Structure 1
């Protein structure tokens, strides 16, 4: 269990670092008013009218960074998926059913993310979509493995 906790701490530190860098890179949207219409879905969702750039919702910074500076948003996604996988492995040791449910929820979360970024026209968006699809394949495989092992234990 100790080795999982160390990995979880290291992955969390990497996630926070990449999140801060992506947030900084995404703040460049304030200076690019021509992108406000296309890269501020959260501001639009919450019906925030962007006039000067200071009104832009903070999550929109990540959208802009993912579209135009995709390295750190990709690191964020990969470390988040790794953290979720570690949590599932740890959960499996205590409660197999809960681990299976969490894995299913990860699959659904990734499918929703894939639907959101499916219509992207930038290279960064395409990379994010590719990473999301690979994550879906991985977590769906983990889900199937967990379901098979659970049914094997029930049949024995």
Structure 2
């Protein structure tokens, strides 16, 4: 495996790690806003039932809160994770497998887009458009790869 591949993986992991830590920090403001627990703590409600104190908040709910009210770093998480999935899928799968994984990931993003489509917050709307854009781009890329098989994606013709 080449240095170009591993450097891209390393940079993608650094961006993912940084954006995850910043999102987690920004979302920790949920602990101070008790009125928001009912709307921004779905994982805590699944685990503990109703949330009665800040000790009942699950760490995953910090990401939900950050996505609703400050979507920049959760968006960076989505983009860097998508890049890593595409990069690893390109390396692991052949033409057909990569095309299918790209289409499947695009459909998952489009389904996520539908789930958050009714969000009343600006952050939810921003993530809706991000999921929609990334999902459509992945499905279109998978279709292009399927329709034009002579595009060998940088691989030699003898593979």
TM range (shorter): 0.7 to 0.9
1:109 match: secondary structure: helix
RMSD over equivalenced CA pairs, Å: 2.0
| Whole-Å separation in 1 of the counterparts to 2:43 and 2:110 | 19
How far apart are residue 111 of structure 1 and its match?
A: 1.9
How far apart are residue 53 of structure 1 and its match?
A: 1.6
Residue 121 of structure 2 is aligned to residue 122 of structure 1: yes
- Structure 1 length-normalised TM: 0.87
Q: How many residues align?
A: 151
Q: Which residue of 1 aligns with 2:13?
A: 12
- Structure 2 length-normalised TM: 0.85
Residue 55 of structure 2 is aligned to residue 54 of structure 1: yes
The one-character-per-residue Cα deviations of 1:31-85 (angstroms, maximum 9, x if unpaired) are: 1011011111222334532111221121111010011111111111111111122
Contact 1:67–1:123, Cα closer than 8 Å, also in 2: yes
Q: Which residue of 2 aligns with 1:140?
A: 139
Q: Which moved more, 1:55-64 or 1:99-108?
A: 99-108
Counterparts of 1:84-103 in structure 2, within 5 Å, are 84-92=85-93, 95-103=94-102
Contact 1:48–1:56, Cα closer than 8 Å, also in 2: no
Counterparts of 1:44-83 in structure 2, within 5 Å, are 44-83=45-84
Contact 1:15–1:79, Cα closer than 8 Å, also in 2: yes
